[in-house]
Structure 1
Amino acid sequence: MAIEQLFETLPLHYVQHGISKFGVGNILLAVLVTAAVGVVVDYGWMLYLRSRMPPGPWPLPIVGNTFQLPDNKPWIYFELLSKKYNTPLITFWIGRNPTVWINDAWAANELLDKRAGIYCSRPRMLVFAELGAGQKNLVNMITTTQAERDRFRVQRKLMHQGVGIQQVKRYRDFQNDESKVVAYDMLTTPEDYVAHFERYATSVVSIIGFGRRVADSKDPIITDVIAVMHRAADLNVPGKTFPMLMETFPILAKVPTEIAPWKHGLGARGKSHRGHDFFYTLAKEANENPGHEDCYSKLLFKEAPKYNLHSQEISALAGNLFGAGSDTSSSTLITAILAMRAFPETMIQAWEELDRVVGSERSPSFEDDTNLPYIRAFVKEVFRWRSVAIIGGQPHAPVQDDYYKGWLIPKSTWVQGNVWAIHRNEREFPEPDRFNPSRFMKDSPDARPFPGERGYMTFGWGRRVCSGQALAEQGTWLTVARLVWGFKIEPALDETGNPISVDIFDYTNGLNMRPQPFKVSIKPRSEAIRQTILREGKQALADLAPYEGETKYRMSTFYKENPVKAGFGS
């Protein structure tokens, strides 16, 4: 029984007599002493856990190390802490909750890949899950019970049916055509290369998910979805500012959103799962369209009775396609352009290989992969050099207590892979900030041992690896190969004719990072190549014509036009 309920059951004169007998001061003192004892006991437990867990900075009572975090790019800070303590794992306390940061490729491989069965779950996530996309979304799903694991397998199976390794090979034709359109558009408006990449990436996943392409870089589906992805990435950077501070002090999340500006609108009725209505409606619209029988939305509605899918699951699975394939893929291509501009010496060997294998009468195709080892290495270095998901996505959480090198990692602890530190460890990648495709060339003196066959950890680990990995790798290889084959990426010139420099460290602060805007000159390498790009681009547009169409829904206006749906998923 709560104290206030106890007082309600007592006659008023007893309460008044008790207060007068013991005095308000004594009561307050008792409360303060009790609180102080509670803090001391709790802090003692924190220090006891700290003595058994991986090393890290000394936490303060209640707040832990929260206020030691920098405001920007905390992954760099965690990399420095790992070097300071000379350890692959560090423990950093966000409030009373410890987070274990893995800053080493071999440790990440041992824990998150080899022990995937233990690190298969997610922790409770207040901001990104409960107030955002939902804890039952495949990306955020906790899998500590058999029922949760069964549901996870269902959603994972359905996602694999959309973008699994074998499935994405079926998408090569239209993915190739959309890539050709990128090159075609860059002939006329090369300065809009970011918009072209966003259109390409969004169009591919839109064809997969909803059976319609995105033809215009100003299509609202691009601007709305990319903006939502950027906002989610920005709001969920581990840090000492709101809204992530609610992870330290969960009670702050209970304040009504309307009077809590620190919640940034999270958790409001109808907004806590804002995308759910929208993506469900897009999927339903696609399902009712008589064309494109093999689009993912139709698969979800077909399988819904078999797996007892509810509308929120259909919405989340359809919406996750955009999360896994639009912002991330376009950001990777922007990084590729930055690398080409900042390290022009890497293009010489690439051009030699492409001219020898492909020539100028056609652009590269998927069938050229085995004959283009340097281009394959070039793309691997793009993934390694500046990975988009810089901390490997959402945190893992062990389903039981685990140990690594004698250190305890308690059950349900936040465990985060620091891809920034992993990909910049000089043991595996000497001169890590130098873009050097030779690192991935067989028998190259620059090659170093690295766990796994890919040589990078861009897409996460274990059972929580990014569902869209195969699609992203397939499309990135082809589009980067085509860009290198087709264009010279050179310095842009200012008003006085001087080259405009670029900064290879000037990236956004979100969890899915991308370069800040920069200017470059993009021109076709030769007239013969320009003519090939024109010819192939026009043919690609003709081949893509069956996917033309437009949805009548806009995320920016959907909830104003459909207020009855405001309570969806809440």
Structure 2
Amino acid sequence: MLGTILWSLRQTLKLRAHRSQLPPGPTSTKTGLARPWVYFREVSARHGDVALVPGLSSGGPTVVLGSARAAWDLLERRGAAYSSRPRFVVGGELLSGGLRGLMASYGPFWRRWRRTLHSGFMQRKSTSYRPIQRLESAVLARDLLVDPHGFRAHLERYAASVIVLVTYGRRVTDVASDEVRQKDIRMYMGLLNDIKDKVARGVATPCFTTHLLEEQEALGMTDLELAYTAGSPFGAGIETTSGTLASFFLACVEFGHNFIPRAQEELDRVVGRDRLPTFEDMDDLKYIRAIASETLRWRPVAVLGGTPHASTADDVYNGMFIPKGSTIIAPLWTSKSPPTSYYRLDFPEPHEFKPERFLEERDFPGTLGHAAFGWGRRVCPGMHLATASVNLNIARILWAFNVTPAKDEKGQNIEVDIFAFTDGFNSSPLPFPCSIKPRSAHHAEVVEREARQALTELASYEGKEEKS
């Protein structure tokens, strides 16, 4: 307690000493905000690309970055000083004993955690999971065909099953009752011990956790550390993939008449009518990839730019003093009107859905053209896996289905609200209606055929035949 008081006093004195150099910002802050990203958008619009907001964090000042350039310069180029985390007392300490790598401070444990995840999900390694994504994607298409009204549940099941298959070598057939919804030591250790038992009996399916066990001694991680590391992809992977695909359906309902015809022309030309698109088609499906990128830009799930960063050294940026211990937030929300400066996701008409943005040269730091997966050394380690899922499923959905507005009892289109999203750390669309119908009877037959074959192949992960 005394140490905390002394640290806070030193911070106060430092801020006073550098008062004239501090970033601009409001003199007070709003509290209890349901959607803080909207407030941060207003702060950036009024005070510029780097703004200091008082009173948001008990540990130190909060700095809001309102442009891609500022986020790139600080979180990427100066990543060594901006890759820690603010203190998470409940989630990071009380509930996990400091073993949640997502919330861990920059240090030896976090570096081990990051290196471990990188080894399992880096771009080259992530391609080895494509057979799983291909098979589960075929099942998702069948689910959308059979029960289009339950599309949100089908998206969640797909995302959960891919993550659990990749991590533990087992399928998820019902997301509502699977232990993926639980996040506690009993679940993580139970799953780890199950894999250890299968390894001992020589019947384990190769997966991320078997890889971790093989490397455990070299990694220097305890069983509990290993269990939490294996469980890390759950929340992020499920929410990123299912939430992004839900936003894609919302874009189809509101803007589909502008982009779906061009997408289906490309799919028919490249893929034909007798099979679902595959990863091998992606190089030739440039417009489909542009749709996926625009979806990630238009409505990023990690709307606050991911978990906040924290600075570990005093720094000066464009003449502004950023003290050590600052909480750094790089929100991804955009303004409705043309910005006075180049906000990170602001293109002309930022809330319009225009895949053509990604067919043109863009003045945007990095190679993706968006920041949906965060910045710097804290960038989402599962970004390659998630991107592959988004690309493939968008291609297959548009190949197989016409996604249009739902109709009311009078046959009129039911309007949707493209700003109706959940509150919280991650944000995804609130429930909305849409119509999902096969493009033809032939397209439906192809979906059914490929789903039956996929379920036959997926049965090997359960050791028994699946029912189609």
Same fold by TM-score greater than 0.5? yes
Q: Is the 8 A contact 1:213 1:549 kept in 2?
A: no
Q: Which residue of 2 aligns with 1:54?
A: 23
Residue deviations 1:57-90, cap 9 Å, x none? 114xxxxx3xx235221111111111112x1011
Distance 2:206 2:400 in 1: 33
Q: What does residue 308 of structure 1 align with?
A: 220
Give the secondary-structure state (helix, strand or coil) at the position aligned to 2:316.
strand
Q: For 1:40 and 1:412, how far apart are their aligned partners in 2?
A: 13
The correspondence for 2:36, drawn from 58, 67, 74, is 74
2:238 and 2:269 map into 1 onto residues whose CA distance is: 33
Which of 289, 292, 297 is matched with 2:209 structurally?
A: 297
Equivalents in 1 of 2:10, 2:368: separation in Å?
A: 47
CA shift for structure 1 position 425: 6.9
Aligned to 1:255: none
Tell whether the 8 Å contact from 1:163 to 1:468 is kept in structure 2 after alignment: yes
Contact 1:122–1:412 (8 Å) recurs in 2: no
Match of 1:498 in 2: 412
**Contact 1:395-1:416 within 8 A present in 2 as well:** yes
Picking from 457, 476, 497, the partner of 2:371 is 457
Aligned match of 2:52: 91
| Count of aligned positions | 448
Q: Distance in 2 between matches of 1:42 and 1:170?
A: 48
Kept in 2: contact 1:70–1:77 (CA 8 A)? no
Structure 1 unpaired stretches of 5+: 3-38, 60-64, 226-273, 551-570
Point out the more displaced range, 463-472 or 424-433. 424-433
Change (3 A) 1:546 1:425: farther
Q: In the alignment, which residue of structure 2 is the partner of 1:529? A: 443
Provide the C-alpha distance between the structure 2 equivalents of 1:292 and 1:423, rounded to a whole number of angstroms.
51
> Shift of residue 47 of structure 1?
4.8
SS in 1 for 2:226: helix
Aligned partner of 1:319 in structure 2 is 231
Distance 1:518 1:503 in 2: 8
The answer for the alignment partner of 2:174 in structure 1 is 216
Distance 2:85 2:336 in 1: 23
* SS of equivalent to 2:101: coil
1:15 match: none
Superposed, which structure 2 residues align to 1:268-279 within 5 Å? 275-279=184-188
Deviation at 1:160, TM superposition (A): 1.7
Structure 1 pair 307–342 and aligned structure 2 pair: CA distance change class (3 A): same
Q: 1:549 to 1:335 in 2, by over 3 A?
A: farther
Contact 1:277 1:315 in 2 (8 A): no
1:12-411 equivalent positions in 2, closer than 5 A: 46-59=15-28, 65=29, 68-69=30-31, 71-85=33-47, 87-93=48-54, 94=56, 97-143=60-106, 148=107, 150-222=108-180, 224-225=181-182, 275-289=184-198, 290-344=202-256, 345-411=258-324
Unaligned runs of 5+ in 2: 3-7
Matching residue's letter, 1:348: P
State whether structure 2 residue 425 is matched by structure 1 residue 511: yes
Name the structure 2 match of 1:542. 456
Q: From the superposition, tell whether residues 142 and 325 of structure 1 become closer, same or farther in structure 2 (CA, over 3 Å).
A: same
Distance 1:487 1:333, change over 3 A: same
Match of 2:353 in 1: 435
* Equivalent AA in structure 2 for residue 283 of structure 1: L
Aligned AA (2:192): A
Partner of 1:262: none
| Partners of 2:362 and 2:369 within 8 A in 1 | no
Q: Name which one, 1 or 2, has greater alpha-carbon Rg.
A: 1
- State the Cα distance separating 1:98 from its structure 2 match: 0.9
Post-superposition shift, 1:41? Answer: 11
1:390 positional shift: 0.7
Identity rate, percent: 39
Asked whether the equivalents of residues 23 and 52 of structure 2 are also in contact (C-alpha less than 8 Å), the reply is yes
CA distance in 2, matches of 1:151, 1:218: 33
Match for 2:129: what amino acid? Y
CA displacement at 1:395 relative to structure 2: 1.4
Q: CA deviation at 1:423?
A: 11
From the superposition, tell whether residues 307 and 80 of structure 1 become closer, same or farther in structure 2 (CA, over 3 Å): same
TM-score (normalizing by structure 2)? 0.90
The farther-off stretch of 129-138 and 390-399 is 129-138
Q: Against the structure 1 CA distance between its residues 42 and 356, is the aligned structure 2 distance closer, same or farther, given a 3 Å change threshold?
A: closer
CA offsets, 1:416-435, max 9 Å, x none? 11111499975451000001
Judged with a 3 Å threshold, the aligned counterparts in structure 2 of structure 1 residues 425 and 163 are, in CA distance, closer, same or farther, namely farther
Q: Is the 8 A contact 2:52 2:63 kept in 1?
A: yes
| Structure 1 letter corresponding to 2:349 | E
* Structure 1 residues 134 and 476: alpha-carbon distance in aligned structure 2, compared to 1, 3 A threshold: farther
Deviations 1:102-154 (A, max 9, x none): 110111111111111221222222243223444342212212xxxx2x33332
Q: Residue by residue, what CA displacement relative to the aligned partner does 1:158-205 show, whole Å, maximum 9, x if unpaired?
A: 112222211111111111010010001111101111111111111011
Matched residue, 2:397: 483
**Equivalent AA in structure 1 for residue 306 of structure 2:** G
Where 2:102 maps in the other structure, the secondary structure is coil
Would the alpha carbon gap of residues 396 and 299 (structure 1) be closer, same or farther in structure 2, given more than 3 Å must change?
Answer: same
Change (3 A) 1:367 1:512: same
Q: Distance in 2 between matches of 1:299 and 1:305?
A: 12
Give distance in 2, aligned partners of 1:474 and 1:104: 27
Give the alignment's Cα RMSD to 1 decimal.
2.4
Q: Deviations over 1:237-291 (max 9, x none)?
A: xxxxxxxxxxxxxxxxxxxxxxxxxxxxxxxxxxxxx612311211211221243
Please state how far the C-alpha of 1:46 moved relative to its aligned partner.
Answer: 5.0
- Specify the alignment match of 1:471 in structure 2: 385
State whether residues 292 and 390 of structure 2, in contact with CA within 8 Å, keep that contact through their aligned partners in structure 1: yes
Partner-residue secondary structure (3-state), 2:329: strand
Deviation of 1:302 (Å): 2.6
> Shift of the alpha carbon at 1:49?
4.8
Question: Does the 8 Å CA contact 1:182/1:197 hold for their aligned counterparts?
Answer: yes
Query: Compared with structure 1, are the counterparts of its residues 471 and 425 closer, same or farther at alpha carbon in structure 2 (3 Å cutoff)?
Result: farther
1:401–1:424 distance in 2 versus 1, CA, 3 Å: farther
Cα distance in 2 for partners of 1:424, 1:114 equals 30
